[in-house]
A and B are shown apart, each in its own frame.
Chain A
Amino acid sequence: MTKTPYAELLAMLSRHRGVVGSFVVSERDGLAVDSNVQIGVHAEAVAALAAALHRKARLACGAAGCGVVTFLRLDAEKGGILAAGRDDLVLVTISEARANIGLLRVEMMRAAKALT
């Protein structure tokens, strides 16, 4: 399989403690452009749903006059979903509760700037 320009970026995110997977997703299509996930993660489903979530957040922020969404964090019982987008591409990370969200946020914000 051909290596995409996002492979190293995703590998870097996946090396963080508590990260079970990361993707680059097209927000419009809800399809994963590239992913680096642990076995057992339903990548296609998470990619489609996270892209829809990011899109709704972007529209909500636009409607509320908050401007462009820079970072989205969804906390759940056993972990969470983090997303940072640029144009049509969204960088999504699935994390466990033990992950260092602050560090991940910084890394994702930096990485999202490089998404093209």
Chain B
Amino acid sequence: MMTAVESWIEEPLMTFINDSRVRIAVLLESSGRVLAQHGFTRSIDVMSACALAAAIHASAAEIGRQLDGTPFKTMHHPGRERQIFLGELATGHGAHILLTVFDDATSIGLVRLYFAELSRRLAGAAAATSSAPPTLVDFESDLNRNLAKLFGRI
């Protein structure tokens, strides 16, 4: 089941999950604050995944800057049975990161294809919504509030 903190994320992300057949999807801000998730059952796992994804994204971006002059925006790591794809999405509400885990039900080619579509849909949805980008007042309390929302505790 997919849950999102903000409603404009729901439809584009659900379409991505259905089309790409990924097992796990987490949308987060570059700070590591979670915005939506699909596939996790425990909030602690989401928190860990977000922290790691934000760190990997920041590292990859910096490596890209040093090697190529521009930050690397996507990363793919194929494991024996499961694979990870991490990519940056530019929306009108700032940069977001999508972390997905998938298996042989789909392929990296399909995930990349639908990721590009998700990027367009999210940018469109963000432009259509009037809500301002969330302000990062207190990271920990914001993170805990979002996790509580995603796992139905508030």
Which of A's residues lie within 8 Å of B, judged by CB?
25-26, 28-32, 44-45, 47-49, 51-52, 55
Complex: how many Å from CA A16 to CA B46?
52
Chain A neighbourhood of B110, CB < 8 A: 30, 48-49, 52
* A63–B107 CA distance with the chains assembled, in angstroms: 21
Cβ of A49: which chain B residues have Cβ within 8 Å of it? 110, 113
Number of interface residues of B (CB under 8 A): 8
Does any Cβ of A come within 8 Å of B93's Cβ? no
Does B69 reach chain A (CB closer than 8 Å)?
no
Chain B residue numbers with a CB within 8 Å of A29 are 107-109
Give the complex CA separation of A49 and B107 in angstroms. 10
B116–chain A nearest beta-carbon distance, Å:
9
Whether B112 sits at the interface, judged by CB under 8 Å, is yes
The answer to whether the Cβ of B106 comes within 8 Å of any Cβ in the partner chain is yes
Central interface residue in A26, A28, A29, A47, by most chain B CB within 10 Å: A29
Nearest to B104 among chain A residues (CB) is: A28
Q: Can you list 8 residue pairs at the A/B interface with Cβ under 8 Å? A: A30-B109, A30-B110, A31-B108, A32-B109, A48-B107, A48-B110, A48-B112, A49-B113
A49 CA to B113 CA, complexed, in Å: 9
* Closest chain A CB from B104 CB (angstroms): 8
6 further A-B pairs in the complex, CB-CB below 8 A; given A30-B106, A48-B110 = A28-B104, A29-B108, A29-B109, A30-B109, A44-B112, A48-B112
